[in-house]
Amino acid sequence: MDILASGEDTVRHSQDGATRRYADLVKLSGLGTRFIDRAQERRLLEDGVTKFDLTLDESRGVLRSVAEDNNYVFESEAGKRIQQVMSRHAGKAGTISRRQFRQAVAVLRDFSENTISEADARRQLKRIMIENDWRPRRAGLLRSRRWYKRVEL
């Protein structure tokens, strides 16, 4: 009976060590910038599962708790929130004006606590518009969509 109990303690102890090491890896990845993009988030989750023998749920839990403690911002979360804002702007017509686009860029930068540049925010918003089949509204003296075409993907 004691042998079985000590074996469970050893497994639990090694699991706690792996969790702590994984948490340290997540902290290290956020040192340069507090913004965690989708690729980096996926890589961290894969590392938790493959290198630290954690389940996907455990990896995600550690990742989220460390992010919460250190005020890290996830691209996926900011993207979901800004998509709701853009959906409101697009309305039934499915068009977004230049002014609304600029406002959404500012909101996205606020969501990410200014950890992403304005150009990156514009790129991300254009991707969201393309994914949702939202069109830019014509603007300017010649009523063109040049403002939208200038945003590089």
pLDDT in tens, 4-36: 444 455 445 567 888 999 999 999 988 888 889
Asked if the model's pLDDT at residue 116 lies above 60, the reply is yes
In percent, the amount of the chain with pLDDT more than 70 equals 89
* 137 and 97 Cβ atoms separated by less than 8 Å: yes
The residue written with tokens 């507090």 in the block is 34
Q: What is the mean pLDDT of the chain?
A: 87
User: What mean pLDDT is predicted for residues 93-115?
Assistant: 92
Question: Torsion angle, CA of 131/116/64/22, rounded to 10 degrees?
Answer: 110
| Alpha carbon distance 137, 151 (integer Å) | 14
Q: What is the identity of the amino acid at 50?
A: T
pLDDT in tens, 46-62: 999 999 999 999 999 99
pLDDT in the model for residue 12: 54
pLDDT in the model for residue 4: 47
pLDDT in the model for residue 115: 85
The pair of structure tokens assigned to 93 is: 């017509």
Asked if the model's pLDDT at residue 71 lies above 70, the reply is yes
User: What mean pLDDT is predicted for residues 79-96?
Assistant: 92
